[in-house]
Structure formats: C-alpha cells, structure tokens
Amino acid sequence: MEKMIEKQILLLAYAPLFLCGIIMIGKLDPEEHVMEDDPQYFAWEEGGIMDTVQQTIKTLGWESTDEIDVEIGGTSVSGIDVGEEYNKKWQSPIGTRKYNKDAFIIIKNLSRTPFEPSTPMEEFKPHHQN
C-alpha cells in the first residue's frame, strides 16, 4: 500500500512534465557564443561589423541613454496599382518594398540632432536689384 501511495505521489509530482511533453535536461544559463557557428550571424564575429560599429559609437561619444534610430536606405516601394493580373517578373503590387543590391544601414542619434528653427532675415536686399 505504501509503495502504491509513493507511486501516486511521484506521478502527481511529474504530471505537469508529462502533460506538457517537455523534460529539460541540462542547464538554463545562457551561453555566450550560442550563434557563433551560424553564418547568418557573421556581424558578431570577433573583429566583425558590430565591433566596428561599437568603436565608431565610442569615437562619436554617444551614450547608452541616447535615442538611436536604425533605418535602411537604398530601397524602393512600388507606388503603382498593377491590378490583379500583372507580370510578376517586372511588376509588384502597390506598397511592396524592394531592397537594392547597394542598400545601406543608417544609424541616427536622434538625441544629438540639432534643431534650430529658421529665423527670418532682418532685411532682405538682393544684390541684383537696382
């Protein structure tokens, strides 16, 4: 009887694991180089693009509290409504974004963008008037 009760308690203790179908074996600590073998993440290689970006940010004196905006340049968006039937090789539906081969990344520091509203000229005297 005692063994049967122990089995029931054991079963109840592990029931959530069996119901979920997940049993985790191993550690839950994040590993430092999880993606290093994946060619998709080449930017994070030692001495890669992200190191260059970090060094450039340091050179510019940007801070972690600055508002940073990342955009993509060198793109085009279709503005022509081609209808239901169109040549898919040469046309694309309205609003479709295409990235050119020479597309580039823009990193802006919005916190350091100087904003000075334009002021009217004190006296307008064109040099070409008599």
pLDDT at 22 (0 to 100): 47
> Which of 31-35, 43-47, 48-52, 89-93 shows the lowest mean pLDDT across its residues?
31-35
pLDDT at 21 (0 to 100): 45
The whole-angstrom separation of Cα 8 and Cα 10 is 5
pLDDT digits (tens, 9 = 90+) for 56-112: 999 999 999 999 999 999 998 887 888 778 887 778 888 889 999 999 999 999 998
For residue 78, give Cα distances in angstroms to 71, 87, 97, 100.
18, 14, 7, 13
Query: Tokens representing 77?
Result: 């968006």
Give the rounded distance of the alpha carbon of 2 from its chain centre: 58
For the chain, what are the domain ranges? 37-65, 67-115
The whole-angstrom separation of Cα 122 and Cα 120 is 6
pLDDT at 17 (0 to 100): 43
122 has pLDDT over 50: yes
pLDDT digits (tens, 9 = 90+) for 13-34: 444 444 444 444 555 555 555 5
Element spanning 55, H or E: helix 49-60
pLDDT at 38 (0 to 100): 66
CA dihedral sign of residues 11, 14, 16, 22? negative
